[in-house]
Chains A and B, each alone.
Chain A
């Protein structure tokens, strides 16, 4: 006979069975029975956040850096509606998240009860799947199924809504092993015919490029290892999306840097001029492709993706391969070796010399300043002074995020956590908390803008309560920098509501929360201030006052193809035409 226990106990037991040791949450009336069970045990650590959005972004940071699902526990009504942004963020960036939301008792559902919301209705379009569990006997099996769905195939967020009476009632516990998950089994191995076709194209390719994305990281460390073996074995150049940074090391010989709207000139030119594009776990996002009808016009395109709906969604490809990155790369290597490990060596040498010419443009150079700290310079110093550490970076969203992607380097996967698809301002700070919880002794830095950072600043309380020494490196230009840049480029420098008025004194703010605050506005003090931040044992808010009107370049203006980038010396006036202005 199956073990009998209350629904609330089942939640805790199922978390144990799933190997969960950390959850992020915030209590409330409907969640009290589960919180009582959490009180009565010591296996699962609960991190109390200050706002439910903080909980889910922290869980995202935790999931991205560990590869394990992030778990969130919130109450009904406002508790769960506050997670909607994070659920959407995790859905777009394919992050495995399991949210437990409490619900009003089943007999009150539909009566507009206190803190009632149609949770499964609200979260249906922003989860991979969700469940309202009305029977305690089904609860444990549903939780196990939830973890299975969140982590299988293309990962994503799931939500399990548990009414309060279901938490109190006693039922039979279904073990993880006994739970039926057989109906959801996405394909992981790619078709050997398609893989062989790709290998044949690889052997002949004159101007190949790897275009890799977050799918490599989601596939696990083995995928990154295989990618390195394959790219280096072939001697092909490789670029990555924002989401995929770290899968291939920045010090690797084929590395071109990030591609896309604020990607590197050489990466975008290689994408435009290649004759074979191998997309590994990326999805032809509009930040990557630029103008679609001029996207990499002469290339044969292969696309490896675990989600069949990603293939041919935006860009029609010639060699579609549905499968998980690691097993597909393994098969590509196997087939390529079995056919004699051939590449088109003379053509590749020409291609590399062409790429060298593009690299000589040195697209990341900027006009240095003797008076103010340029944001790029601040990041270059941060890179120099922190790269020897066991370092993890999160970011908020905006100019600072793009500069961080351009100027910081990543040697390994799971060390770069940023909101890519949804572009959620307020993501980075709670994410840094989740990362620090997973790696208590590591150096965790959130590169932020002051406006983004303020969106979830309440999490300072969480950082100090749990003694999480997260470093908040705020590039403070007193502007919504990216909005201001677009207004400069598109709207005649009419800076409508894109400045940060009435900013707090960040040093005093840090001190008010019991943390350390550092302000730096001088070039001469910057290095010492950064070192002070790194060496301080505790959370730090670093208020770095930077150049206010710096533009983030290079840039593919919207509506333009890859080979028409704006570089640092170019004039920005009229760079975006009226058709481009209509795009996001």
Chain B
């Protein structure tokens, strides 16, 4: 990212100047919105997406700065480059929103999601579930003689893969948090 000298943060779209703005290719972008944690702020952000017909693939929100009452809303969305650019400028109109970071174009970033999986089974299936959980570095957070609850952290793709494997082994229920993401490096 530093090699491209793209200014980090804010609603600067400099990175887009390097891409074809008229491309019809639908891209997946992870946006981090820093907002004042005031009543209704989440409704403003998601209302913008639903009102203007944009897509939300995943949404994660929590107060990240308790003293400053700032929340971080991480939205994974899809669209052509022009639509993604529109989403960012429309977000910029929200008064209690301080900045939008497009983690997908602002350089390398890490994305993590947490999943909880309830798997019920006996005998060989139960052993196989435990073995696969070990391979995926999932933790057992609850256990009975007929079931486990696994906790797994990783990229959404890793969690999808784990779900695919657990399904034939007695998967009963899944809870997922949605993506949390940060840029890599010191900046």
Query: A132 with B86: in contact, given A149-B95, A308-B11, A308-B92 (CB under 8 Å)?
Result: no
**Is A20 part of the binding interface, using a Cβ–Cβ cutoff of 8 Å?**
no
**Is A120 part of the binding interface, using a Cβ–Cβ cutoff of 8 Å?**
yes
**Which residues of chain A are near B39, meaning CB under 8 Å?**
120, 132
Question: What 15 new A-B contacts, CB under 8 Å, besides A124-B43, A124-B47, A149-B95?
Answer: A120-B40, A124-B40, A125-B47, A128-B93, A128-B95, A129-B96, A132-B40, A307-B89, A307-B93, A309-B92, A311-B89, A312-B82, A312-B86, A313-B89, A316-B22
Q: By the criterion CB–CB under 8 Å, are A316 and B21 in contact?
A: yes
* A253–B39 alpha-carbon span in the complex (Å): 53
Most A C-beta atoms less than 10 A away, residue of B47, B86, B89, B90: B89
The proximity string for B residues 6-38 relative to A, scoring 1 for CB distances below 8 Å and 0 otherwise, is 000001000000000110000000000000000
* A307–B85 alpha-carbon span in the complex (Å): 13
State the Cβ distance, B170 to closest chain A Cβ, in Å. Answer: 42
Q: By the criterion CB–CB under 8 Å, are A312 and B85 in contact?
A: yes
* A183–B70 alpha-carbon span in the complex (Å): 13
Residue of A184, A312, A313 touching B95 (CB-CB under 8 A): A184
Q: By the criterion CB–CB under 8 Å, are A309 and B95 in contact?
A: no
* A125–B48 alpha-carbon span in the complex (Å): 8
State the Cβ distance, A259 to closest chain B Cβ, in Å. Answer: 24
**Is A492 part of the binding interface, using a Cβ–Cβ cutoff of 8 Å?**
no
State the Cβ distance, B174 to closest chain A Cβ, in Å. Answer: 31
**Is B185 part of the binding interface, using a Cβ–Cβ cutoff of 8 Å?**
no
Query: A125 with B82: in contact, given A183-B98, A308-B92, A309-B90 (CB under 8 Å)?
Result: no
**Is A121 part of the binding interface, using a Cβ–Cβ cutoff of 8 Å?**
yes
Beta-carbon nearest neighbor of B38 in chain A: A131
List of 6 A-B pairs having minimum Cβ-Cβ separation, nearest first: A309-B89, A129-B95, A308-B89, A309-B90, A125-B51, A184-B95
Beta-carbon nearest neighbor of A309 in chain B: B89
The proximity string for A residues 297-321 relative to B, scoring 1 for CB distances below 8 Å and 0 otherwise, is 0000000000111011100100000
Chain B residues touching A, range: 20 to 34
Beta-carbon nearest neighbor of A149 in chain B: B95
* A307–B86 alpha-carbon span in the complex (Å): 12
* A307–B90 alpha-carbon span in the complex (Å): 9
Q: By the criterion CB–CB under 8 Å, are B98 and A313 in contact?
A: no
Residue of B43, B89, B94 touching A121 (CB-CB under 8 A): B43
The proximity string for A residues 118-151 relative to B, scoring 1 for CB distances below 8 Å and 0 otherwise, is 0011001100110010000000000000000100
Q: Which of B39-62 touch A at CB < 8 Å?
A: 39-40, 43-44, 47, 51
Beta-carbon nearest neighbor of A183 in chain B: B98
List, sorted by A's number, 5 A–B pairs whose CB atoms are closer than 8 Å. Answer: A308-B92, A309-B86, A309-B92, A312-B82, A316-B21
Residue of A124, A149, A309, A312 touching B44 (CB-CB under 8 A): A124
Beta-carbon nearest neighbor of B48 in chain A: A125
* A128–B95 alpha-carbon span in the complex (Å): 8
* A123–B40 alpha-carbon span in the complex (Å): 12
**Which residues of chain B are near A183, meaning CB under 8 Å?**
98
* A128–B51 alpha-carbon span in the complex (Å): 14
Query: A313 with B86: in contact, given A183-B98, A308-B11, A308-B92 (CB under 8 Å)?
Result: yes
**Which residues of chain B are near A128, meaning CB under 8 Å?**
93, 95
**Which residues of chain B are near A316, meaning CB under 8 Å?**
21-22, 82
**Which residues of chain A are near B47, meaning CB under 8 Å?**
124-125
* A184–B96 alpha-carbon span in the complex (Å): 8
**Which residues of chain B are near A125, meaning CB under 8 Å?**
47, 51
State the Cβ distance, B91 to closest chain A Cβ, in Å. Answer: 9
**Which residues of chain B are near A120, meaning CB under 8 Å?**
39-40
Most B C-beta atoms less than 10 A away, residue of A132, A149, A184, A308: A308
* A129–B47 alpha-carbon span in the complex (Å): 13
